Amino acid sequence: MTMRAIAVTGAILMTLSLATPAAAEGDAAAGEKLYNKCRACHVLAEGKRRVGPSLFGLFERKAGAFPGFAHSDDLVAAGEVINPWNEDNFKQYIVAPNEYIGSVIGKDKARTKMVFPGLKNEKEAEDILAYLKPYFLGEKEGK
């Protein structure tokens, strides 16, 4: 390679690395499909419930604090730490619900009333978060 070719290649590589976003952004369209796994039990309408509590405004409350819902003791206890729900604790919870709640409250076999084993991996967690975030923030209401 000539010196000029090396300089040009270097400039291109630098531009590429600058264009790469620092954090991975989830894919909201993929997240909407993943949310189908939650629909049987959750709604996105304010104050409503199904098998589980509404996920509308989730980021404005602590864990296990949906008004009038008979939450598990373990989720309520986790509310001492998960206060409020945010991107970080939600992503950890949704890939391993019982394990994560157990780690938060220091209990080997924590059991919440959510009979759902969790999403597959961090990528799925990022994707569903990208879709659900406006609802979690209470900016958008759904059914």
Q: Are 44 and 56 in contact (CB under 8 A)?
A: yes
Nearest to ligand HEC of 2, 36 (CB atom): 36
CB of 56 to ligand HEC, least distance (A): 10
Region label for 118, one of left (φ > 0), alpha (ψ between -120 and 50) or beta (otherwise): left
CB of 24 to ligand HEC, least distance (A): 19
Nearest to ligand HEC of 24, 33 (CB atom): 33
Nearest to ligand HEC of 9, 83 (CB atom): 83
Q: Are 59 and 84 in contact (CB under 8 A)?
A: yes
Please report, for residues 13, 14, 117, the alpha-carbon distance to residue 19 in angstroms, rounded to integers and kept in the order given: 10, 9, 37
CB of 20 to ligand HEC, least distance (A): 28
Nearest to ligand HEC of 21, 67 (CB atom): 67
CB of 140 to ligand HEC, least distance (A): 15
Q: Which residue, 71, 100, 70, is CA-closest to 88? A: 100
Beta-carbon contacts of 19 under 8 Å, excluding residues fewer than 6 positions away, are none
Q: Which residues bind ligand HEC (CB under 6 A)?
A: 37-38, 40-42, 51-53, 55, 58, 63-64, 66, 71-72, 75, 90, 94, 112-116, 119, 128
